[in-house]
Amino acid sequence: DTGVSQDPRHKITKRGQNVTFRCDPISEHNRLYWYRQTLGQGPEFLTYFQNEAQLEKSRLLSDRFSAERPKGSFSTLEIQRTEQGDSAMYLCASSLDFTRLAESYEQYFGPGTRLTVT
Amino acid sequence: AQSVTQLGSHVSVSEGALVLLRCNYSSSVPPYLFWYVQYPNQGLQLLLKYTSAATLVKGINGFEAEFKKSETSFHLTKPSAHMSDAAEYFCAVIYGGSQGNLIFGKGTKLSVKP
């Protein structure tokens, strides 16, 4: 079991540039979540996928953000025209779907991608 | 709005002392409740969860939490703190009717003094 992996671990970019992050979930997990964590705060939900379908998006996810999960495996999160306010840790988590009862509510997190916009 | 409140952004205890981190949720319907730990520059690791079974839940590293519906609380405890427990702890909930996304508290940073 390799766990949830994220790439890159750190990204420094200049304001206005586009960035893309990748998340590889645990292989048998159907659900994949993206969260954003700013300094001194708990993670905040951005969006989630059930297999390849994006089923919910937070109002935090502006038009500059887009996420995909082709073929229901890995996922990418792209931020266009980055702003300094986008600087944060972006966390990915995966879980089984709810038909697997209690254990399906457990979300396993990756190490995160720390984005710094200068 | 549904929320999670963690009292105390920073808690400091001596090694060997009791650890108590507080968490309250805002719902008349008991949600699913979790405690996660985060070490610097790392992701979150699940400590324990409550999913409507036993109200006293035991987790990893000697931590446990008790669900109290009357107090809408899910406080985290450990009888004897160890230096390696120093980290940030997050209480999180999944409310009924949601799509399963976690709502997190702001976190409590635990310091352990030798």
Asked if A91's CB is within 8 angstroms of B44's CB, the reply is yes
Task: Report whether pLDDT(A5) > 90.
Answer: yes
The pLDDT assigned to A98 comes to: 65
The residue with greater pLDDT, A87 or A56, is A87
In this prediction, what percent of chain B has a pLDDT beyond 70?
A: 96
Q: Give B18→chain A minimum CA distance, Å.
A: 24
Residue A4, pLDDT above cutoff 60:
yes
**Contact check, Cβ <8 Å, A108/B102:** no
Q: Per-residue pLDDT averaged across B23-49, rounded?
A: 88
Answer whether A43 sits within 8 Å of B102, measured CB to CB: yes
- pLDDT-based confidence at B94, cuts 50/70/90? confident
- On whether any CB of chain B is under 8 Å from the CB of A41, the answer is yes
Least confident residue range of A76-85, A98-107, B94-103: A98-107
Question: How far A66 CA sits from the closest chain B CA (Å)?
Answer: 18
Instruction: Confirm or reject contact between A4 and chain B (CB < 8 A).
Output: yes
Tell me the shortest Cα–Cα distance from A38 to chain B, in angstroms: 10
A55 touches chain B (CB under 8 A): yes
A94 close contact with B: CB closer than 8 A: no
Least Cα distance to B80 among B34, B28, B25, B13 occurs for B13
The C-alpha atoms of residue A31 and residue A48 are separated, in whole angstroms, by: 7
Q: Is the pLDDT of residue B45 over 80?
A: yes
> How far apart are the CA of B41 and the nearest CA of chain A, in angstroms?
8
pLDDT at B92: 94
Range in A19-28, A68-77, B28-37, B60-69 the model is least confident about: B28-37
Per-residue pLDDT tens digits for A31-83: 999 999 998 899 999 999 999 999 888 888 889 999 999 988 999 999 999 99
Q: What is the pLDDT of residues A13-24, one digit of tens each?
A: 999 999 999 999
Q: Work out the widest C-alpha separation in chain B, in whole angstroms.
A: 45
Quote the CA–CA distance of B34 and B45 in Å, as a whole number: 10
On whether the CB atoms of residues B93 and B100 are closer than 8 A, the answer is: no
In this complex, do B102 and A56 lie within 8 Å of one another by their Cβ atoms?
A: no
Which of helix, strand or coil describes residue A31?
A: strand
Residue spans of beta strands (DSSP E) within B1-114: 4-5, 10-14, 19-21, 24-25, 32-38, 44-50, 56-58, 64-68, 73-78, 87-94, 103-104, 108-113
From the candidates B99, B106, B109, which should be mutated to test the interface with A, based on the most A CB atoms within 10 A? B99
> Cβ distance B25 to B6 under 8 Å?
no
pLDDT (average), residues A87-95: 95
> How far away is chain A from the Cα of B107, in angstroms, using its nearest Cα?
6
Cβ proximity of B98 and B4 under 8 Å: no
- The mean pLDDT value of chain B amounts to 91
Instruction: Provide, as residue numbers in chain B, all residues whose Cβ is less than 8 Å from the Cβ of A43.
Output: 44, 90, 102, 104
Confidence of residue A103 (pLDDT cuts 50, 70, 90): low
pLDDT of amino acid B51: 79
